[in-house]
Structure formats: C-alpha cells, structure tokens
Amino acid sequence: MIEFSSVEFQHPNGVIALKGIDLTIRSGDVISIVGENGAGKTSLIKHINGLLKPTKGSVSVFGVDTRKESVSALSRNIGIVFQNPSHQLFSESVEDEIRFGMINFGFEEELVAKRLNWALTLFDLERYRTISPMLLSGGEKKRLCFASVLSWDPKVVILDEPTSGQDFLQKENLMNVIKILSSQGKTVIIVTHDIEFIWPLQPRIVVMAGGQIVKDGSAENVLNDEDVLKRARLLKPHLLSLTEGLVVKPREQFSDVYDAKKWLVKTLRG
C-alpha cells in the first residue's frame, strides 16, 4: 500500500538525496528506517505524505500517486511526527494544537472533544491544556506532536527519532503506544538510531546509506551484519551480543530482558 518504484529525489540545488529506491510497505507493518545522519531517511519519509515528490520514479500510497494528490489529502492517512517538534507546533494552546488537525479533517465537534481528551491523557499532557506549546520542554513538545497526529487517527504513523529527549518512563509509555497502534493494524514507521528501543518490537529494518537502501530484512538478520552496522554507525543490540557470547545458544533471539530471563532460568536450573 506504500510503494516506491525507482525513486530518485534531487534537491533544487542539485544534491541527490535519494536514488534507486524500491520499497514496498504493507498495511500493518512495523518497520524501522536506520542509517547515519544525512543518509536520506527524512527525505524518504517526506515522500510518503507528499511533502517531497520524486524527481524520477513514483510513490504510490493506498493506490494514489503522490504527485497527483495534495499533502493535506495524503495526511488524512499518513501522520508524521517530525524529529524537531518546534517545526510543527504553531497554535496558541496545547488543546488548540491537538484540535487543529481534527477540525481540518472535518471531525464533528463532539468527536473532537472526545479524542482531544483521549490524546491528552495518553501523552500525559492534561495539565498543560491551556498553555502555549512553546512553554513545554523538548520531550513534552514531542509528545504533543504525537498526540496531535494520533488524534485524527491516520492509518500510517511515521515517527522521526521518537525517543530523543525522552527518559526511560516516557520511552516505556511510547513503546506501549506503538504496541497499541500495531495491534490496531496501523502501519508504524520508525526512523531511529535507538536500536535498543526498537529491538523488542522485532521490526523489519531498512538500512539507508548515501541515499540508497543498502539492506532490508528482519531485525536479527540486519543487526547481525557487522558491515551494515558499521555503515549505518549503529551498535549491536545488547541482547544480540548476549546470545553471541553464550556457550549454549537459545533457539530464538531474546526479544527483551524478560524473554532472556525465562530462558536463562530454565537453562541454569537444568
């Protein structure tokens, strides 16, 4: 349902940000896009809601060619939470910020109020309801962007570096939200360096370098590839290093510490 075919994108100044991109993302996928700064990750996601249009090739989203549709129409289905939240906040109060999208997409007033409360609660923002988004901390601004995007219930949620500036508890909360979204059948696309964060989701991972996709596969497959780790400037997840070092190996990779504990308890007790 999201289909990149031979996409190339060249900035007006001549710099080529993407080349030869072929990528299919299916409904309900949880997918992570990784790569060093400047690898083309943000350019790639901006093609999904039409903020950027390919200079060669095409991007189709739910069967619609992005060149033939407006950004606002595409955004009804595609919600992006950008890395720098200040770039997407502009309302006078936190609640107006969250309402904005829903009103634009023609939600009934009653539904707007209901979903506003839901989003404020989910992201722990109720106490800031009437204050200006500019007064929030970096982490809070980020949660506000997330709340705004989820309020209009897009089918695809794209998160650009969602864990930056978030502490441990906020990350756990974010993980729960992602799991809920995934269980609702939403497509979740996470652009991140935070391999430890995404590892428990065991997502499909797409690795980018120099504007191209250099690897696309399961988390285990991609993150075991030393060459890819080097190119994308990533470190191997702890749990993967753990199984690598063990003299007796588990049948499957540990997805989180609880999973590892279970196997270790069984193995160590004999």
- Name the one residue in this structure whose structure tokens are 């890819």: 228
Q: Select the span of 12-20, 88-96, 106-114, 239-247 touching another protein (CB under 8 A).
A: 239-247
Instruction: Kindly tell me which residue out of 57, 242, 250, 255 binds another protein, with binding defined by CB under 8 A.
Output: 242
CB distance 208 to 214 below 8 Å: yes
Q: State the CB neighbour count (10 A cutoff) for residue 234.
A: 20
Q: State the CB neighbour count (10 A cutoff) for residue 154.
A: 22
**How far is CA 212 from each of CA 3, 50, 207, 209, rounded to the nearest angstrom?**
15, 19, 8, 6
Please choose, from the candidates 49, 55, 74, 51, the residue with its C-alpha nearest in 3D space to the C-alpha of residue 17. 55
Task: Please enumerate, as own/partner, the contacts of 51-54 that have beta carbons within 8 Å and a separation of 24 or more.
Answer: 52/9, 54/4, 54/7, 54/8, 54/9, 54/18
Nearer to another protein, 72 or 241 (CB): 241
Query: Does the footprint of another protein cover residue 15 (CB under 8 A)?
Result: no
Give how many residues touch another protein by CB under 8 A: 38
Q: Spell out the alpha helix ranges (H) of the chain.
A: 41-46, 71-75, 94-104, 109-122, 138-151, 168-183, 195-198, 219-223, 226-231, 238-245, 257-269
Please choose, from the candidates 32, 30, 8, the residue with its C-alpha nearest in 3D space to the C-alpha of residue 18. 8
Q: Select the span of 5-13, 42-50, 97-105, 228-236 touching another protein (CB under 8 A).
A: 228-236
Query: Does the footprint of another protein cover residue 223 (CB under 8 A)?
Result: no
Query: Does the footprint of another protein cover residue 165 (CB under 8 A)?
Result: yes
Q: Select the span of 72-80, 99-107, 204-212, 225-233 touching another protein (CB under 8 A).
A: 225-233
Query: Does the footprint of another protein cover residue 245 (CB under 8 A)?
Result: yes
Q: State the CB neighbour count (10 A cutoff) for residue 3.
A: 17
Q: How far apart, in whole angstroms, are the C-alpha atoms of residue 85 and residue 96?
A: 16
Q: How far apart, in whole angstroms, are the C-alpha atoms of residue 168 and residue 165?
A: 10
Q: Which residues contact 168 (CB under 8 A, 6 or more apart)?
A: none
Nearer to another protein, 21 or 209 (CB): 209
Query: What is the smallest separation between the CB atom of 264 and another protein, expressed in angstroms?
Result: 6
Nearer to another protein, 15 or 247 (CB): 247
Query: What is the smallest separation between the CB atom of 4 and another protein, expressed in angstroms?
Result: 24
Instruction: Kindly tell me which residue out of 11, 135, 233, 252 binds another protein, with binding defined by CB under 8 A.
Output: 233
Instruction: Kindly tell me which residue out of 110, 167, 226, 227 binds another protein, with binding defined by CB under 8 A.
Output: 167
Binding mask 125-164 toward another protein (x if CB under 8 A, else -) reads ------------x-x------------------------x
Binding mask 169-208 toward another protein (x if CB under 8 A, else -) reads xxx---------------------x-xx------------
Footprint of another protein (CB under 8 A): 36-38, 137, 139, 164-171, 193, 195-196, 230, 232-235, 238-239, 241-242, 245-248, 257-258, 260-261, 264-265, 267-269
